Amino acid sequence: MTKNVKMLIEELKYSDTYSSPPQKHGFYNWFLRDNWLYFIVSFARIVLRTRREAREKRYGYPEWIYSSQEILRLLEKIGGHFEIEGIHNIYRTGDPVVFVSNHMSTLETMIFPGLIAPHRKVTFVVKESLVKNYFFRDVMRSRDPIVVGRTDPRKDFETVMREGPLLLEKGISIIIFPQSTRSEHFIPSEFNSLGVKLARKAGVNVVPVAIKTDFWGNGKIIKEFGKIDHRKIIHMKFGEPFSVKGSGKEENQSIIKFIQNHLQKWSEETLKLHEHN
């Protein structure tokens, strides 16, 4: 384990917020900033290593946490700046929870384990294509995710409602992205209430999560290998846990509002920053 990643693991574990250190100056750091080729080669090296570990049954929670935070450090190295808030809300309740988040890019899928897994067992609701992907399938399968097809909403609903409560009963929290696909633009009408309904059925709390991760764009051919843009700050905000009552409709609207408010706030802050510079 490198010193930088070890220090990051300790800092994230005991802090409520995290802000990336200032970018270093000099030719080497200028060369790395937004260097897509360097990023892809480094990222692929991490992915292939974790793939091998998973195939050899050596990829547990410690390895998952490490590789996630290794990617966070890599993103900082190429110019990424993280602003993460509400880390204490990840583990405010000792019981398992359902994390409900908007979905912008590959970044949150890679970084969430490094933030959440140090505090509680967790897995994802993922698309079937991800557990068939050559690069990611072994790692994702090792995490025992809930797999959905994203083509038949009713079937997906039944799968999540059947498998989700069983995992939560075992003490495993679940991360769900209610949007049908990754998108830089948040469209409330595409944000379904599946996460809220799962939490209601299982009798657990929901932790709303707002993210702005368009620093790592979606690729046109391979979504995981999009362009990067250091001018875009990486924001993540974990909200306070809450229980679901009644139909859950109001709670889902509350999550949507939580995400919208933070996206608007972050966009305004970015605009002011660019005007100042």
pLDDT in tens, 5-59: 767 767 777 789 999 999 888 888 888 998 999 999 999 999 999 999 999 999 9
Given this model, what pLDDT does residue 7 score? 72
Spatial distance between the Cα atoms of 56 and 50, rounded to a whole number of angstroms: 10
pLDDT band for 3, please (50, 70, 90 cuts): low
Element (H, E) at 63: helix 61-77
Domain of residue 15, residue span? 3-276
Per the model's pLDDT, the better-predicted residue between 27 and 171 turns out to be: 171
Spatial distance between the Cα atoms of 102 and 181, rounded to a whole number of angstroms: 10
Number of domains within the chain = 1
How far, CA to CA in Å, does 220 sit from each of 50, 65, 76, 224, 225?
A: 25, 29, 24, 9, 9
Per the CB < 8 A criterion, the answer to whether 236 and 83 are in contact is yes
Dump pLDDT digits (tens) for 186-218. Answer: 999 999 999 999 999 999 999 999 999 999 987
Mean pLDDT to the nearest integer, 247-260: 95
| Range 107-140 burial, b when 16+ CB lie within 10 A, else e | bbbbbbbbbbbbbbebbbbbbeebbebebbbbbb
pLDDT band for 222, please (50, 70, 90 cuts): low
Residue 182 has pLDDT above 90, yes or no: no
Dump pLDDT digits (tens) for 99-157. Answer: 999 999 999 999 999 999 999 999 999 999 888 888 899 999 999 999 998 788 899 99
Given this model, what pLDDT does residue 130 score? 87
Per the CB < 8 A criterion, the answer to whether 233 and 215 are in contact is yes
213: its two tokens: 């991760």
Residue corresponding to tokens 């859950």: 248
Spatial distance between the Cα atoms of 191 and 5, rounded to a whole number of angstroms: 34
Dump pLDDT digits (tens) for 54-71. Answer: 999 999 999 999 999 999
Spatial distance between the Cα atoms of 33 and 36, rounded to a whole number of angstroms: 9
Per the model's pLDDT, the better-predicted residue between 187 and 181 turns out to be: 187
Given this model, what pLDDT does residue 6 score? 66
**How many CB atoms within 10 Å of residue 102?**
28
46: its two tokens: 């991490």
Given this model, what pLDDT does residue 97 score? 98
Residue 1 has pLDDT above 60, yes or no: no
